[in-house]
Structure 1
Amino acid sequence: MSPAASTRGAHLGMLLWAALVGFSFPAVGLMSELPPLSLTALRFAIACAGLWWLARRAQDFMPAPRLLPLYALMGLCLAGFFGAMFWAAHRATALSMATLYVTVPLLAFLMGRGVGVERPGWRLPGILALGALGALGLALAEAWHQGGRLRFGIGEAVFFLGCCSTALYPVLSKWGLARGWLPGTASVRTFWSLGAGGVLIGLVGLAVEPVGTLLDMTVLDLALLIYLGLCSSALTFWLMQRATSSLTPGAVTAYGYLVPFVSMLLLFASAPSQVGWVWLPGSLAVLLAMGLLMRDSGRAGG
């Protein structure tokens, strides 16, 4: 596959990623209140089970011992983000968390520049800043609709550390690929990083959560968990790893700006009267940023 075709496929895959992540939030909302960390560990286990049939066929499926620390660090990034998100969920406002999350692409770009996997220049940071403003506008529009408020306390500080953690994940992936350490097969990288993250999250869940309440899971909960594990974990992280081969960490994480846009579309489909002109500036800024990102990546080959 030519570099241009690979880059185009990476962008299309990340568009699907944004749709899958956006659609996962309503699914999570339908589930019963269950231990979140243990639930995430089960979700990652289901994702690994779904990836097993694809990853095991690769010649480089079994990692070399020297790669285990890198996979553990990548898994720690996943565990750190989900752990921080669940801990902060009851201590931070939704608006504050949504606002802090728009920093992830810029954080990924800065980290990528630090380890040499991002190109120097001002265009990508400018595009990321435009997307951040658009996503922030969408978050403020949703907060205005729901009556939320912006603040910064210990919950927000912990969640920001989680944002730094998730921004580091594609940076480590790109760094490992650039040095020829990580395998070229996206499914293998996804399998082992999700596996390591799931083990870490599960251990924390066993220590701090009433794991026995998982027995209260209903049939609907189980069906939704399987869907989230296969579609919103296995497929989304595979798409991210696949895109990391062609795009830089900043470009990959920039598609997170589309998630609130997808949420807005879902709200418009279910309750069109609740979506007004206040959503328009943020939507236009996000779409413009994504268009510029695709054009520039196509010209530069990723």
Structure 2
Amino acid sequence: MLLWALIVGASFPVVGLLSDGLPSLLLTAMRFAIAALAMLPMAWRAGPAVPNLEGGLLYAVMGLCLAGFFGVMFWAAHRVSAVSMSALFVSMPLLAYGLGRVFGVETRAHRLLAILVLGAVGALALALAQSGGDLAKLQFGWGEMAFFLGCIASALYPVLSKWGLGRGILSPDAAVRTFWSLAAGGVLIGLVGFIAEPVAAMGRMRLGDVLLVAYLGVFSSGATFWLMQRATGALTPGAVTAYSYLVPFVSMLVLFAMRPDVIGWQWLPGSLLVITAIALLFRGAAGQPRPQSRSTGSVDDERVACAGATLPEKHR
């Protein structure tokens, strides 16, 4: 998940290099299609991977979660301030923890809950530092409500993955789960894009745009969702999503590398809180016993109970 945070945090400057005026939803559908194709060889090696009806329905719901979050994010980008979006986004790990409790894939863990709150405060402090500390931009209206619903959908994704794994509905292979959820999400985002956006605008894409979308598809979507699915086999949803607090920290480091003149003391409090939260997660991981692993040929076999992540009894 550290590698996940590094890739995601470093991808934001890449997105800014895309040409203006391109349809966002259709670009995302293209990105997801490339990501799914990148996962196809790994999923193919896992053997027969076509899900049954129950698994197909769950993958469709997981894809709907992805489509819902990205669709609302692009819609809200022009209606909601960056500070408000950041404040709502940092609630995602807490939402994942709460939804995990509802679905029975999270145990009551006061320590993990405290770490999530600490990380949320730190990530919010980084967002305020980036905006110059302008609290007036922190609002909550219909646009913010829509984005918050998108955050709930995103938080539900690892919860459904963990729930489906625990009941044997989803494939035990992380690449297979990544492929089907990305494929379903890409189809749903593409359908909305064809309805809501001008398809002809995709013709304005330059070779550089195609290469950037390919990079984002393979690394920022394919690799990151695969890493998340791998982590889901060992961690609870709250612990997995807690690493999203590192994303603004990584983006801050990229900003410092590009613009050293913006370095200031205002970045220090949030950075320290985020680093402390992640260090506490690692300390919890180190303090947990390493279970006996079974060789089943799955990439999720290397499971370590950490950060309050307790596997159901039948999977130990």
Superposed pair shares fold, TM > 0.5: yes
How far apart are 1:179 and its partner, in Å? 1.1
How far apart are 1:221 and its partner, in Å? 0.3
Which residue in 2 is equivalent to 1:30?
Answer: 17
Q: Give me the identity figure in percent.
A: 60
- Which residue identity is paired with 1:188? V
Is 1:220 equivalent to 2:217 in the alignment? Answer: no
Which residue in 1 is equivalent to 2:170?
Answer: 182
Report matched runs for 1:1-302 at 5 Å. Answer: 14-33=1-20, 34-144=22-132, 149-300=137-288, 301-302=305-306
* Structure 2 unaligned blocks of 5 or more: 289-304, 307-316
Moved over 2 A (4+): 145-148, 297-300
Moved more, 292-301 or 150-159: 292-301
Please state whether the residue corresponding to 2:279 is helix, strand or coil: helix
How far apart are 1:146 and its partner, in Å? 8.4
How far apart are 1:66 and its partner, in Å? 2.0
Which residue in 1 is equivalent to 2:297?
Answer: none
Q: If each structure's helix is expressed as a fraction of its own residues, which one has the higher value?
A: 1
Could you tell me how far apart the structure 2 residues matched to 1:190 and 1:184 are? 11
* Structure 1 unaligned blocks of 5 or more: 1-13
How far apart are 1:297 and its partner, in Å? 2.8
Moved more, 168-177 or 144-153: 144-153
Change (3 A) 1:148 1:275: farther
Q: Check conservation: 1:141, 1:278, Cα contact below 8 A.
A: yes
How far apart are 1:295 and its partner, in Å? 1.4
Q: Check conservation: 1:95, 1:148, Cα contact below 8 A.
A: no
Q: Check conservation: 2:94, 2:116, Cα contact below 8 A.
A: yes
Change (3 A) 1:147 1:296: closer
Q: Relative contact order (alpha carbons < 8 A, sep ≥ 6): 1 or 2 greater?
A: 1
How large is the Cα RMSD of the aligned pairs?
1.2
Q: Check conservation: 1:111, 1:168, Cα contact below 8 A.
A: yes
Could you tell me how far apart the structure 2 residues matched to 1:154 and 1:242 are? 35
1:178-225 per-position Cα deviation (integer Å, ceiling 9, x unaligned): 112111100000000000000000000011100111011001101100
How far apart are 1:65 and its partner, in Å? 2.0
Which residue in 2 is equivalent to 1:10?
Answer: none
Normalising by structure 1, we get a TM-score of 0.93
Q: Check conservation: 1:112, 1:118, Cα contact below 8 A.
A: yes
Which residue in 1 is equivalent to 2:309?
Answer: none
Could you tell me how far apart the structure 1 residues matched to 2:136 and 2:272 are? 23
Q: What is the number of residues matched between the two proteins? A: 289
- Which residue identity is paired with 1:191? F
Normalising by structure 2, we get a TM-score of 0.89
Could you tell me how far apart the structure 2 residues matched to 1:60 and 1:80 are? 29
Could you tell me how far apart the structure 1 residues matched to 2:228 and 2:187 are? 20
Could you tell me how far apart the structure 1 residues matched to 2:162 and 2:178 are? 13
Could you tell me how far apart the structure 2 residues matched to 1:243 and 1:60 are? 23
Could you tell me how far apart the structure 1 residues matched to 2:32 and 2:281 are? 30
Q: Check conservation: 2:128, 2:135, Cα contact below 8 A.
A: no
